[in-house]
Amino acid sequence: MFDLKSLNPQQRTAATHTEGPLLVLAGAGSGKTKVITCRIAHLIENKEVPPENILAVTFTNKAAREMQERMKELVGSRGKGMTISTFHSLGVKILRQDIRKLGYKKNFSIYSTSDQLGLIRQALRETNDTQKKFDPDSILWKISGAKNALLTPEQYRPTGFDESEQMAVAIYPRYQALLKSCNAIDFDDLIMLTVRLLRDFPEVLAKWQQQFRYIMVDEYQDTNPSQYLLISMLAAQNRNICVVGDDDQSIYGWRGADVEKILNFEHDYHGCKVVMLEQNYRSTGNILDAANHVISNNTKRKVKALWTESGPGRPIDLIVAADDEEEATTVVERIETTCFRDKVSYGDCAILYRTNAQSRPFEEQLRFAGIPYVLIGGMQFYERKEVKDSLAWLRTIANPEDEQSLLRIINFPKRGIGETTILKINQWSMEQGIPLFEALGRAAEIDGITEAVRAKVQAFHDLLSGEIANFAAPGHLADKVDRLFRKIGLEEELYRTIDDQATARRKVENIEQVINSLAGFESSSAKATLPLFLEKVTLMDEDRFSGKDKKEHGRDAVTLMSLHSSKGLEFPMVWLVGLEEEILPHKKSIYEDFSIDEERRLMYVGITRARRHLTITRCLQRKQYGKMQERHPSRFLEEIPEQLVNLQQVAGAQALNEDEAEKMAGDFFAKMKGMLG
């Protein structure tokens, strides 16, 4: 039932302030969803606002469904008719009524990503005179970015000399024309066309402004320019707009979110009321103190500090491990001990990391310990395409008769051996009754293949033959794999074919983890061979499909996820791992963006996911391309007061010269301060 008495004073102020603009700065765990739903209930029950005049917008279907369920509990059938939706669903609602004014039919289709890619490929075939290879996904990503910035085909211009961006500019008009010829729009059009409709047809805007007299936006810090403009237009007439969010949790700048929108809300809406929700109902005092101290180092923010009535709780554990393998082993051992000692379930535990590539050693250790886990926000490590591609090279070297793996790598990285050539070689090998690998070495005997292509096939066969001999000789496997991947240009291929550099970097990091995994396997086995390593990987993958592992996707399983995926969630026990420079903060923010504010906000999000206990880990060394590299502690660790932290060095770390490592870290920070001014 609806009851304003259940709210604290600040929550009650936010829920009952209904006229004029309202900014609710809701810290992590401060009950913002409760405030939004109670505010809607107050409008309906106490202010007698018709439900159809209320609009609540959030970012995900899941969040919208949860809000709808809460409203049913609070006001029952009296809430029928109000609009609680995502931005895209709101766009559909408006466009279904009036899109004919833009030259579309009312029964327009909304194209999925696969449908969009089909049109991108068609536009590329029509527009690309040189027939140069371009990645359709990358082209689509660039056009999507243009639409989110409300740039029409006529307005979109390349920002540099990137050929892929220039091609995106070239095919954007044709892509949009193809969409319209099919009476179809894509997801980005749902916002862009809605803004255009409201801007070009004042009578349409007036109609929707009259309907949506009271507007609420959740997670306002995540709005991009097109979403911001849509809401601004709808709210301009009545100005009864309430936005709820937290600038300290703005972590999606890479996909267009602009933290300035929430920071400038008071400037956009003069006379707006600001309410701070700082009482936290999730975490202990020590966890909140750590979060407050870290985020206070960001200067471009609304000053606030979380607090709780629940007491300080346990200190934060800081584990210093010798390397990433020991880090994973220690974390898994602590999880096992914690669950046994404190009588908590595996489902109460979460391992959070900055990049998905970090999941690999934790996945391996959890499987080794027989602990169920579920991976959120990404595929299991050995299922990722770039990982499968790199392993296909190793499988072919270990077994040249593995024709599935051979076919996967024959033109990866690209070497000018096309599908027609591969079909001819495959057909000839079947006719001759010989393995495909042998047929590659006899390409000169196959009709219908040009001399130039035969030379490329022979070069590929010679490369593989040499590597087969190389791997059969004594030597460290990880070093051999590192040299192989460098020789074939695996990293360069990813950066060349994937124009979104952040995506390419993540894939390169995953390739690096394959080498690290092999290095760890070598160090733990006296008889490490390439076939044994591949067997281990295969058995791990097969375990996923066994009946025993089905429980991994149930409630009682450790959660592994990136910090970006963890936003909005909470767990009794959190292990925040990899607190080192170039990981958190990520090296891109240090060396390319020269801004770590968003990285610090990620750290803040990670800390505040923990309810009862937080453990932070870092390594003195970490494998990079199979070799140990010194690691420097994250600057965010220095921002947590010592009295909140219980420092623990595990056995391997204690054996290293910690004083020397800390001296190196000091030199590193001095250098960074010079770079950043």
Dump the DSSP string for 163-184.
HHHHHHHHHHHHHHHHHHHTTE
In angstroms, the CA 536 to CA 550 distance is 20
Whether residue 33 lies in the annotated active site? yes
Hey, what amino acid is at 304? Answer: K
Binding site annotation covers 32? yes
C-beta atoms surrounding 301 within 10 Å: 20
Binding site annotation covers 81? no
Q: Which of 11, 32, 147, 325 is catalytic?
A: 32
Rounded to 5°, the CA angle 330-332-338 comes to: 100
Query: What Rg value do the Cα atoms of the chain yield, rounded?
Result: 28
In angstroms, the CA 626 to CA 261 distance is 43
Whether residue 555 lies in the annotated active site? no
Binding site annotation covers 20? no
Name the residue among 600, 668, 599 with its Cα closest to residue 630. 668
Q: For residue 578, which phi and psi values (nearest 5 degrees)?
A: 75, 40
Whether residue 348 lies in the annotated active site? no
3-state DSSP assignment of residue 142 = helix
Binding site annotation covers 33? yes
Q: Which of 18, 33, 97, 648 is catalytic?
A: 33
Three-class SS of 454-502: HHHHHHHHHHHHHHHHHHHCCCCHHHHHHHHHHHHCHHHHHHHHCCCHH
Dump the DSSP string for 226-295.
HHHHHHHHHHTTT--EEEEE-GGG---GGGT--THHHHTHHHHSTT-EEEEE-B-SSS-HHHHHHHHHHH
In angstroms, the CA 215 to CA 399 distance is 63
Binding site annotation covers 149? no
In angstroms, the CA 27 to CA 20 distance is 22
The answer to whether 327 and 617 have CB atoms below 8 angstroms apart is yes
Strands 627-630 and 621-624: antiparallel
Q: For residue 273, which phi and psi values (nearest 5 degrees)?
A: -95, 140
Q: Which of 261, 609, 612, 622 is catalytic?
A: 609
Whether residue 479 lies in the annotated active site? no
Q: Which of 209, 249, 355, 421 is catalytic?
A: 249
Binding site annotation covers 30? yes
Q: For residue 55, which phi and psi values (nearest 5 degrees)?
A: -125, 125
Give the dihedral sign, CA 578/581/587/590.
Answer: positive
Q: Residues with catalytic annotation?
A: 32-33, 218-219, 249, 609
Binding residues for ATP: 26-33
